[in-house]
A and B are shown apart, each in its own frame.
Chain A
Amino acid sequence: MNRLNQDLFKNWPFDQDHCLTCAICSGACPVSGIDGFDPRKIIRMVSLGLQSELVESRWPWICTMCGKCEHVCPMGIHIPDLMRGIRSLRDRDKVPGILHKGLEAALKTGNNLGLPKEDFVFILEDVADEIAQEPGFEGFTVSVDKEGANILTTIHNKLVNTHTEDLKHWWKIFYAAGEDWTVPSENWEGTNWGMFTGDDPAMKIMAGRIAENMARLKARNLLWPE
């Protein structure tokens, strides 16, 4: 313990030093116990300055970012932010799974799949056509890049990849409600793997693009389900 350098995390503004080890966070966490992970353990490792152990460990990546831990913590420790902070310390090529690769694609092309604009619009219109053929939905169209709409919605990449059918549910609700909605043709990606991987600059860029869309298309409300 003499060699521990607690100063490594000293300036992190997440109040992690206030932990009184009550374990409420670990009790609330939906993934506590999986592969030996629990949030209290991570907070303690941060307090002890076990930086390399934390960066190399799979534990911080098990967290789902649900935020329940912070909600119940009596010291108000910003635990999800802490997890993200640890994630940010890993080299990008060691980020688990496809998260970073997908993020790179998104930064380059505006979406995790690298799906070109024409293909994206084609898929949307294809699904719209299918809806229009259903009784009660005659004349259904999907509006893309409409200005001044009431709602601008983002799209989860899986909805234009493997789960296109799932677009239909809420499109039909919009139609039945007579809602005035639109989808941007570019930078439509709703997931933000910059947030997941602790990459704050990337997170800002992705979020910023959505904001730009809002400004450009002058939509009144943003629907961002992801």
Chain B
Amino acid sequence: MKERTLLLGNGPVAWGIAKALLSGNVPVVLVTPDTATSVDTDDPSPLFEVRTETRVSHCTGSAGNFQVILSSPHDTPPLTFANIVIAEDGIQSPLFSLYGLSASPTVLSLSGIRNILASPLASGQALTPGKTAVFIVGLAGESYPHMVETAMESCLKLQKNLGMKTIILTRNLKVGASGLEALYRQTREAGVVYVKFSDTLPTFQQDVEGKVNIAFVDDITRMPFTAEADITVVDDAIAPSPYLKDLSRIFCLDTDSVGYIQPDNVHRLSVFTNRKGILAAGASRGMLSPSAQRAEIRETAVTLFSLTKGTLTTPGNKAEIDAGACVRCLTCFRLCPYHAITLNTRPVVMTDACERCGMCAAECPAKAIRIEDLRIQAISERLRPIPRRDNTDSFTPFLVAFCCSRSAGRAKELATLSGLSFPERLSIVEVPCSGSISAEYLLAAFQHQADGVLVFTCHEGNCHSERGNILAARRTAHLKNMLKQIGIDPNRLLLKTLASNMAAEFAETARKFEKQMAEAGPLGINL
């Protein structure tokens, strides 16, 4: 029997995921603040439970064992879940006010006109032959292919079935989805007029009868036009549900710049968050088209099955906190990007959730945290200087490169495969994440007679631990200052960001650095 999943949401994506999980015999508890479900649960499986009027208020624990406190009008004891899926719908709001318009029977949203046209009694006075409908799609801001599709299909119906004139006002016409170019052609053949704007915009004036007078200069002919819209349709802005703000706080989830609970980080594709065992699907993780959201349902299911099978666990030594040395500053608790540290009067690492980024160990002011193979002693053992070639009398610097395994580690592999050359005396110390590269490591390298030290991290925004590279950069900058103060050339320490596919840059950076260090001469620290 697979372990229980908490599912947050009440839209088609959430219900689709519920169905998919149940068919895989995963028990699901669907929780929503809404007063009623959007779908009739006529034949509920024994594995399925639905709680309406319920919100999440608190969560502790980690993947496999989340303790969640729910709040609702009824008495709800805390529940334990193996995994959590957040699949809240987004908010769509028509952009009437952006154009100085207000909703009325003849000034509609895109979904409004679609619903009217979908019902067999498609009517209303304004929907009569000869009348004009104007669609505003992606004018003040960029639109989306699925909205353009709705607009085009609606216009097609209005032109062909209802004998109306239709005009679409847009900026960049979004045809980047299947079938849209062909649909565009169909609409043109049916007589739909497109007005594309680049630097100018039309003006809108809504009168008391709900007609909208539009004036603009056509970009192509440079002729001024006016149009009186009997029906005006305005597209929607899409935003994340405000509930996500609470959920991000409660579950300690990173968000992107718009507010979705998945940062713009390729390591999170498709439905991962920064926390193991918590997935974000559909309009909770980003602006997705309806068809992408449908695909997301299955992707989420498959990811969740892998989670429950345990095949997504990171192997290796995990972080351990020495209770005796810990001063309870809570730095590690606040810093951990995976929220893998819990407070049990003192910080304790939840082993399964730990991803070995090493940030906690590197930042702990009391040096109370260790990851066995990333201890300074272990690292130091990897810092034995590479001997010089015998037949050389010119100075060949000994270099140490600390490499994040995901970026530079892979780039180095690629560089080797491509036959690129590296400095002769380059020693590579690969660590799981640059977040573990402490000042101690860097100093140890110099202590072991390195003439120059390189730090390779992921680009900003590309770190699996979200912030490991930022911390590494900060520490490196700080150490460079310190080196300067003690009379060591700070340029002997260099940080470079790169990605796993940047083999050429890896090799070139190392070679260039070697040349620089050769010119700088031996560092001459002998301890």
Contact = CB atoms under 8 A, between A and B. Distances in A.
Direct A/B contact, Cβ within 8 angstroms: yes
Interface of A: 1-2, 4, 6-7, 10, 17-21, 36, 40-41, 44-45, 47-48, 50
A41 B220 CA distance: 6
Given A1-B132, A17-B189, A21-B220, 11 more contacts: A1-B227, A2-B165, A2-B227, A4-B193, A18-B185, A21-B196, A41-B220, A44-B218, A47-B188, A47-B193, A50-B221
B220 A17 contact: no
Contacts of A1: 132, 167, 193, 225-227
B12 interface: no
B441 interface: no
6 contacts: A2-B132, A6-B191, A6-B193, A40-B220, A41-B221, A44-B218
Nearest to A38: B220
B327 to A, nearest CB: 67
Give the 7 A-B CB pairs with smallest separation, nearest first: A1-B227, A17-B188, A44-B220, A1-B225, A2-B132, A6-B191, A17-B189
A14 to B, nearest CB: 13
Given A1-B227, A20-B184, A7 B221 contact: no
Main secondary structure of the interface of A (DSSP, over half): helix
Contacts of B167: 1
Contacts of B220: 21, 40-41, 44
A47 B191 CA distance: 8
Interface in B138-185: 165, 167, 184-185
Contacts of B225: 1
Taking each of A2, A10, A36, A44, which has the highest tally of chain B beta carbons within 10 Å of its own beta carbon? A2
Contacts of A2: 132, 165, 227-228
Contacts of A4: 193
Contacts of A48: 193, 221
A57 B226 CA distance: 21
Nearest to B229: A2
A220 B222 CA distance: 52
A6 B188 CA distance: 11
Contacts of A10: 191
A7 B191 contact: yes
A19 B189 CA distance: 10
Contacts of A45: 221
Nearest to B187: A17
A111 B188 CA distance: 43
Contacts of B189: 17-18
B320 to A, nearest CB: 62
A146 to B, nearest CB: 53
A210 to B, nearest CB: 38
Contacts of A40: 220
Contacts of A17: 185, 188-189
A82 to B, nearest CB: 15
A21 B198 CA distance: 12
A8 to B, nearest CB: 11
Contacts of A50: 221
B136 to A, nearest CB: 14
Taking each of B167, B188, B189, which has the highest tally of chain A beta carbons within 10 Å of its own beta carbon? B188
Contacts of A19: 188
Nearest to B181: A20
Contacts of B227: 1-2
A47 B195 CA distance: 11
Nearest to B188: A17
Interface string B120-138: 0000000000001000000
Nearest to A20: B184
